[in-house]
Structure 1
């Protein structure tokens, strides 16, 4: 060992000795009156003496001798007495661990005996080497047994005793785990790792002093809880260390007692066993079996409900979380989330059809197919619906209950979980048996029943979203039809007005000319409506073009003015870039609404002006007007109208079209004073200077 490592080793053990000496004095002052306090003082003082003896002797050998054995013995007695002090019930429950205590005490005596043999045979090198190797094996076996004992004692305590014992158990587990690494390195003959681990042993032990200080400061202890993941990984690490130790011990025994031929055969057999272990241990069935053992012996419950619920919600609620793209649908995600709870390799979702019978709906990782109609007995369905009964298929088979062939003949089907939404059975999930077959117990039933209700809420939500999407499509369809019906009503009103006026003015050539224009406009607009109704109409993008507002407004005024006076004034040369057809629809709606709101003979005014970078088109009438509440809350809502027999669509459609064109529509109105609808749209770059003109159509 080099001087630097020797220096750190010596002073690390000195630090450990000083810290535990201080803890000994503190414990003596606070707890020396009680038996458990005296035991704690002895244990801490022996730990301090052990560290001090190594520092004085120098870090030159692996064996710590009799003082280390005394230290371990003191901690072992502490482990035996403390749980009984914290929880008297532990005395009765801990009797099964007494043989392990006895074995560990015998191993301690064996270590001391080997130390004495090594010292007595100091001049005989072979005996010293064999004694040292045997001592290392005994130390390693003792540490492994001590770790197992810590686990058994801790697991056998009640909840309150565990909470108070946890810091002490943590100190023992950490101390002896470090010793196990040290003795394994020594057994393997790795002198570099052995010297390093032994030199740092004092410093590592010193890091445990604060934990002991916590125990002394708070006699009730603190609540320490190791997660399932930590315990599972710790179990795997312990098994790996144990396997490595057994392998090295086997090689050591072969080397000591067997002949050359036997050594070769045994070494080859050991190699084959190791290779087989490397192949078998990673298998899904083996890992699942080990998890079952860990859950059974280290935890009060089979499931870690927090982790299970988080994983369940993550799987069923996150469409992109699954590794398989096939799990994108809510139904497959629901099956996978349920199967993950019990480690089932596959599952299927059954849902009732229109005939009321269960049908295959979806599956996850399912091999083959279930029959399309998955008949279930009425009695079984009633139990699932009324009692939220999780069906143990294997138990039903064993009881001789009548099951449908698809359940009776498929030995892989393990459970049938009801999907209950309130009191309605909206489906059932079929789960296949896990890699390691086991009977369902009360924890499985409770977990699956609760998860089934959660799955039902997700499926109901998905169905609601689907129904909402369909309702929105119907709403869009009805909305389009409402607009079309409104346009048809306007055309019918326009044609009826022309027909009435024809009785009086049929001989007037000017009237006949206006009538022809009106009928032509109605025919053109009817063709547009037919195009909107066509199944080939895919709602193509608007045809944007530049045009003069006055030209289009003049055509609308001429068509609408055949039966009612309509005035057009302002700057008719202003130009905009927009969809001509939609813009004409807006002007036509506004003018038609103004005509319908006006008294006979009361003119409607359309005024065009420039307002900065926008064109401002006002449609003014002198009709009955509207109050502020109606304008604010009802005017631009569909199917709200103040006119007798009105559809209430015109203003709503006009504003919708204007927004689509990038403009705005506002209104000013008062009862008895009429209304002014103001349309603003961006001007194009080629608008001519303002001019003034006025036209009248009557």
Structure 2
């Protein structure tokens, strides 16, 4: 009994501190607002203060002392006043019998309070032997009448009672019911129920949270307790109740005597370990607890803010466990969509089905769905049309019970394999602007439940959000393919332009061969030109390979004079070029790219010149850079044409021109860190100047070989 007395003192101290804190908190709440949210708020503050005084008397003198009974009378007066002010008002007045009962109970409590106070002031204390029975009788009458008033108030009081009001009333009812049982046991046995009296502070502690609920402004702002916090709070309360129960069982066992105390301890340990192990090991038990908490403690099944944040985070986070180790990409997105929808409803897995070329839907990916779905399992075109037209979320359990149609008379047309698989629970169409992008089949959750309006709304909205992600992914995939085709077409156009130039050279070579075929020197030049053209054609065809796309040309020291000689040799069948170059001149560039530019500029110069017109290639070093001029005496160009059209793609003054040569030459030059300048006047010829970084001290050589990217 000594241990139980110590425990009672500890619990009494906690109850005293708790109610004192709640009283101060209630006094600091905005009274005007609280009065509108909870009628009788002033009486609630008075009840909290009276509970504090009662706990103080019980802590100082003991829970069963006469002083505690006087404090209980004061507490009952405050509680009765709160009940009258809260459950009944002008629109729902208290009936005459109930009003009479309330007044009688208040009168008894006031008499007990005055009597006890007067005796205590006169004698400096109360004798439990002669004052106790009378005070206990008043307490039993107040408890009985108070329970009657609470029952009547809850059933017939004013409508629209808020949750805090009912919570506080429930706390008072629990306290009065416990005290009434103490009085009845004492009346039946003829001895006080000492163990139950010592546990009164524990019951007071259980009533304390109801005041906390009332102190919160929960009339219009619901409790912002998360599902996780609610679960943990309930587990803590369950633990506290378990301790109280163990205390009661132990006390009863000690009263009975024998080995029952040890037996009770063993059974309690087994029950505690069994319950804890079940919660830890059983997903079904945890799911059931979550469902019960959402159903009975929250207005809505879902914490929409938390669920939506988790949903969007799952969709946006690539490469998480939804991928299950698979390659990143669109397949990973399919698994994330299935996972996100499944987690909303607590489903342990999901299937995602995508349309095939015939319009049916096949399983494309799965998340935590064990094998058993055949690869050829499809959702028929008929089912797909129904889901797309109606947007109906199909409860497969309803289909198994015989449902065949949806609102509007549409036939469900769910395939047999899906109905036969009892793991399948819900079919969710993933719609994007009335077009069904995918279908998600949710696995049956550990605790099966019927779908309600919240489930349907959440799945419908979440399905549309997931559809936007899938549509964006499909658009990105189509755009990527279009870019690859565009890149191929771009390279093909540049290559065809170069092939056209080679074809022109070969045609000229063929015409010259008719006149100079017997000349050994011409034949030697012709063979050399054919070798160069064949090599050039092979290089151009290699550039069409996808492996060559975006190839980085190797920059290095390029001797300019040999390069000019090679270009002149390439152009010799058409025209003899005049060449001038500073001795030892070198640029930091890609040799093949520079030659490609010069061949194009030289070809254009020859085309623009008359048959007897000269074309010159002159290279020099100027201002730390290499300058290569291509000069002709052709027709020239206007300043407006140079500014507005020369370097634009698909703009050409030639009848058979592609309009890509100048554009390609400028792009290559800029990629090497250079540029092309043009000076021309109509009728006076043109000068194209290619500027390149010079090799050597002060040039680009110090940058290394990887600074320049030249797209082939």
What corresponds to 2:315 in structure 1? 316
- Name the structure 2 match of 1:497: 508
Correspondence for 2:176:
105
1:137 equivalenced with 2:199 (yes/no) = yes
Could you tell me which residue of structure 2 aligns to residue 277 of structure 1?
Answer: 275
Distance 2:372 2:21 in 1: 70
For the pair 1:556 / 2:567, whether they are aligned, the reply is yes
CA distance in 2, matches of 1:138, 1:635: 98
Alignment pair present for 1:413 and 2:424: yes
Give the alignment of 1:272-671 within 5 angstroms.
Answer: 272-282=270-280, 283-322=282-321, 325-326=324-325, 328=328, 329-376=332-379, 380-399=383-402, 401=404, 403-501=414-512, 515-532=526-543, 542=553, 545-564=556-575, 566-623=577-634, 635-660=646-671, 662-669=672-679
Secondary structure of the corresponding residue to residue 485 of structure 2 = helix
Matched, 1:254 2:267: no
- The Cα of 1:655 is off from its aligned counterpart by 3.3
Distance 1:272 1:16, change over 3 A: closer
For residues 213-224 of structure 1, the aligned pairs below 5 Å read none
**Helix, strand or coil for the counterpart of 1:281?**
helix
What TM-score results when the alignment is normalised by the length of structure 1? 0.73
Cα deviation 1:366-400 (Å, max 9, x = unaligned): 11142223344565433311110101101011016
- Mapped to 1, the partners of 2:573 and 2:53 lie a distance apart of 118
Counterpart in the other structure of 1:265: 263
Task: State how 1:64-75 maps to structure 2 within 5 Å.
Answer: 65-66=68-69, 69=72, 73=76, 74=78
Give 1:448 shift. Answer: 1.1
Give CA deviations for 1:381-425 in whole Å, capped at 9, x if unaligned: 333111101011010110164643311221111011112222222
Aligned-partner SS, 1:619: strand
How far is 1:588 from its partner? 1.2
What secondary structure sits across from 1:91 in the alignment? coil
8 Å Cα contact 1:595-1:604 kept in structure 2: yes
- Residues 47 and 79 in structure 2, CA contact (< 8 A), matched pair in contact too: yes
1:91 equivalent to 2:90? Answer no
- How far the C-alpha of 1:337 sits from its partner, in A, is 0.5
d(CA) in 1 for partners of 2:521, 2:692: 34
Answer yes or no: is 1:231 the counterpart of 2:230. yes
Alignment check: 8 A CA contact 2:363 2:378 kept: no
Matches within 5 A, 1:127-276: 131=194, 133-144=195-206, 147=209, 167=216, 225-260=224-259, 262-276=260-274
Query: Structure 1: how far apart are the matches of 2:41 and 2:548?
Result: 91
- CA gap of 1:38–1:317, structure 2 versus 1, over 3 A, is closer
Gaps of 5+ in 2: 1-9, 93-155, 405-412, 700-712
| Rounded Cα–Cα distance in structure 2 between residues aligned with 1:321 and 1:611 | 58
The one-character-per-residue Cα deviations of 1:401-459 (angstroms, maximum 9, x if unpaired) are 46433112211110111122222223211111111000111111111112112222211
SS across alignment from 2:318 = coil
| CA contact 2:556–2:588 (8 Å) conserved in 1 | yes
SS of the counterpart of 2:199?
helix
Shift, 1:265, TM fit: 3.0
CA distance in 2, matches of 1:229, 1:83: 33
- 237-246 or 99-108: bigger deviation: 99-108
Q: How does 1:38-77 map to 2 (within 5 A)?
A: 39=43, 42-43=46-47, 46=50, 65-66=68-69, 69=72, 73=76, 74=78
- Write the distance in 1 (CA, Å) between the matches of 2:267 and 2:333: 52
Residue range with higher mean Cα deviation, 471-480 or 414-423: 471-480
Question: Aligned partners of 1:645 and 1:240: how far apart in 2?
Answer: 91
Q: Which moved more, 1:535-544 or 1:307-316?
A: 535-544
For 2:703, the equivalent position in structure 1 comes to none
CA gap of 1:556–1:72, structure 2 versus 1, over 3 A, is farther
Q: Secondary structure at the match of 1:414?
A: strand
Following superposition, the deviation at residue 595 of structure 1 comes to 2.7
Contact kept, 8 Å, 2:23 with 2:48, in 1: the verdict is no
> Which stretches in structure 1 are left out of the alignment for 5+ residues?
1-5, 122-126, 155-164, 170-219, 689-698
Cα distance change, pair 22–576 in 1 and its aligned pair in 2 (3 A): closer
Distance 2:456 2:25 in 1: 54
Counterparts of 2:635 and 2:91, CA distance in 1: 91
CA distance in 1, matches of 2:520, 2:323: 78
Displacement, 1:309? Answer: 1.4
- Judging changes above 3 Å, is the alpha-carbon distance between structure 1 residues 315 and 632 closer, same or farther for their aligned structure 2 residues? farther
SS in 2 for 1:478: helix
Q: CA deviation at 1:363?
A: 0.5
Question: CA offset at residue 316 of structure 1?
Answer: 1.1
User: CA 1:86/1:519 → structure 2, altered by over 3 Å: closer, same or farther?
Assistant: farther
Q: 1:284: how far off?
A: 1.5
Distance 1:403 1:614, change over 3 A: same
- Do the aligned partners of residues 591 and 352 (structure 1) sit closer, same or farther apart at CA in structure 2, a change above 3 Å counting? same
Distance 2:215 2:685 in 1: 85
Q: 8 Å contact 2:497–2:658 — kept in the other structure? A: yes
CA distance change for structure 1 residues 489 and 225 in 2, over 3 Å: closer, same or farther? same
**d(CA) in 1 for partners of 2:541 and 2:31?**
97
Deviations 1:615-672 (A, max 9, x none): 1223234555556676566544543333322222223332343344x32123335562
Q: How far does residue 598 in structure 1 lie from its aligned partner after superposition?
A: 3.9
Judge conservation of contact 2:605–2:631 (CA < 8 Å) in 1: yes
- C-alpha deviation, 1:335, in angstroms: 0.4
In 2, the alpha carbon distance for the partners of 1:40 and 1:141 equals 19
Corresponding residue SS for 2:567: helix
- Cα RMSD of the aligned pairs, angstroms, is 4.6
Q: 1:451 to 1:243 in 2, by over 3 A?
A: same
C-alpha displacement of 1:489: 0.5
* Structure 2 Cα separation of the partners of residues 530 and 616 of structure 1: 31
Which string of whole-angstrom CA distances, capped at 9 and with x for unpartnered residues, describes residues 35-91 of structure 1?
Answer: 94763574476478669x67xx99797889347646754368547744767997973
The normalised TM-score by structure 2 is: 0.72
Name the count of aligned residue pairs: 599
CA distance in 1, matches of 2:451, 2:642: 66
Secondary structure at the residue paired with 1:440? coil
Kept in 1, the 8 Å contact 2:23–2:49? The answer is no
Whether the aligned pair in 2 keeps the contact of 1:597 and 1:623 (CA below 8 Å) is yes
Q: CA deviation at 1:469?
A: 1.9
Distance 1:377 1:564 in 2: 71
Change (3 A) 1:623 1:445: farther
Asked if the contact 2:360–2:381 (Cα under 8 Å) also holds between the matched residues in 1, the reply is no
1:564–1:81: structure 2 CA closer, same or farther, 3 Å change rule? farther
